Amino acid sequence: MTTTTVTITAPRLALPARWQEAWLDWVEERSGLHIRETRLHVLESSLRERMAATGAETHEHYFQRVAVRGDSRESAALLDRLLNHETSFFRHTPSFEVLGQHLIPKLAAAAKSASPPVLSFWSAGCSTGEEAYSIAATAMDALGAGPVEFAVAGSDWSEAAVERARLARWSLKAESDIPEPYRERYFRRVRSGDPSVEHAHNGLAAAPHPQRVPPILAPRLRGLRASVEPHPALKARVRFARFNFLDPVSYPAGPFHVIFCQNVLIYFRDRLRVEVMANLASCLAPGGYLVSAPGEVPPRSIPGVKPVWFGPTMVLEKDPGSRAHPAAQQWAKGEVLHAK
């Protein structure tokens, strides 16, 4: 029996200047992403790949389909190919140290008198979920068994990234980014690939005392892929949904006590960065904090918040006497994430 392999080859079409300009404008209008000259090769390779996948023979045909007729599925596929999903657990360590040692204790003290006593966090631009779970692990560790509960929202433009975040399973390589205390308390190793074997293996791993793997399972376990995932108690605190930085209506319900938005807006033009950060700040609860990457946004250009320094780390604090955004709605632990 002969097996034939069919390979789809992307058309090697140089990107004419007029189409380059048209695509750059369309991408920025839809996502805010400003593709710099040094990354034009990414745009061109993405277009070649998607044109080959859809059978489009010319840039005009593909542009008509995506930008003119508005094929939403193909638009999402192209933008997902263009967006940078680079992320990691506890990516900027000083930010998480400030979160656990300063922000959460202060917010928790005020939340004890609230009804319900719940702190809400948002990872805006969460990619595949590592940042959201870093926030959740930090919050669980800082709050302990006290009366204050918490919930974490994670959102991203990419549907594929959001689905991976919901799965909440990462390669063992990612484990090295998790500080040892958090790794031991809030994450675990699993093996995946064969559902029946995986279930049996997870049952052994979750037992109160370590158990020897039965000989009948050992050969099959060796063939499974090892990965890391959050413990169920941590996973239950986190919800994910799609959103668009440029569309405040798509933002998750708040108000939020802490919003993380790091290493995302560096891909936006300066004017748009300030606009988006102002929209995020409007979703903060009074006295809440907006945490960006160092140097990502000029701190004094965002209305409604002021810079606060913890050593070398700066966060933006909302005036405790201000009002929450009129469209914001408080959401409690375990509630399914929804748009405003």
What is the span of the domain harbouring residue 63?
17-82
Read off the pLDDT of residues 166-216 as tens digits, 9 standing for 90 and up: 999 999 999 999 999 999 999 999 986 644 434 444 444 444 343 444 555
Q: What single DSSP character describes residue 223? A: T
Does one domain contain both 29 and 109? no
Q: What is the predicted pLDDT for the residue at 299?
A: 62
Return d(Cα 69, Cα 81) in angstroms, integer.
20
CA pseudo-torsion sign 159, 85, 325, 330:
positive
The predicted pLDDT at position 31 comes to: 85
Question: Does residue 330 belong to any structural domain of this protein?
Answer: no
Domain finish residue from 36, 56, 82: 82
Bigger pLDDT: 115 vs 317: 317
**What pLDDT, on the 0 to 100 scale, is given for residue 8?**
45
The verdict on 53 and 186 lying in the same domain is: no
Instruction: State whether 205 and 245 are in the same domain.
Output: no
Q: Which of 215, 233, 251 represents a domain boundary (last residue)? A: 233
Question: Which pLDDT band holds residue 264 (cuts at 50, 70, 90)?
Answer: confident
Residue 211 in any domain: the answer is: yes
Percent of the chain at pLDDT above 90?
Answer: 52
Which pLDDT score, from 0 to 100, does residue 317 have? 96
Based on the fold, state whether residues 290 and 255 are members of the same structural domain: yes
7 falls within a domain: no
Residues pairing with 284 in the sheet: 256
Q: Does any domain span residue 261?
A: yes
The rounded distance, in Å, linking the Cα atoms of 166 and 128 is: 8
Q: What pairing do the DSSP bridges indicate for beta strands 118-124 and 256-261?
A: parallel
Q: According to the model, what pLDDT value does residue 211 have?
A: 43
- 289 and 161 within one domain: yes
Per-residue pLDDT at 5: 52
Stretch 77-83: mean pLDDT, rounded? 84
Say how many residues make up the chain: 340
- Among 207, 233, 259, the domain-final residue is 233
247-252 average pLDDT score: 94
Give this prediction's pTM: 0.78
**Residue of 20 and 191 predicted with greater confidence:** 20
Residue 323's pLDDT band, with cuts at 50, 70 and 90, is low
Domain annotation covers residue 228: yes
* In a shared domain, residues 242 and 226: no
What is the spatial distance between Cα 327 and Cα 254, in angstroms, rounded to a whole number? 8
Based on the fold, state whether residues 262 and 200 are members of the same structural domain. Answer: no
Q: Do the domain assignments include residue 12?
A: no
Task: Based on the fold, state whether residues 108 and 240 are members of the same structural domain.
Answer: yes
Window from 29-33, 81-85, 283-287 with minimum mean pLDDT: 81-85
Residue 332 placed within a domain? no
Residues 252 and 161 in one domain: yes
* Total number of domains constituting the chain: 3
In this structure, the answer to whether residues 125 and 112 fall within a common structural domain is yes
Same domain, 269 and 157: yes
**E strand segments, the chain:** 118-124, 149-156, 170-171, 187-192, 225-230, 238-242, 256-261, 284-292, 305-310, 313-318
Place of tokens 């994430």: 337
Determine, yes or no, domain membership for 285. yes
CATH of the domain at 165: 3.40.50.150
Based on the fold, state whether residues 267 and 281 are members of the same structural domain. yes
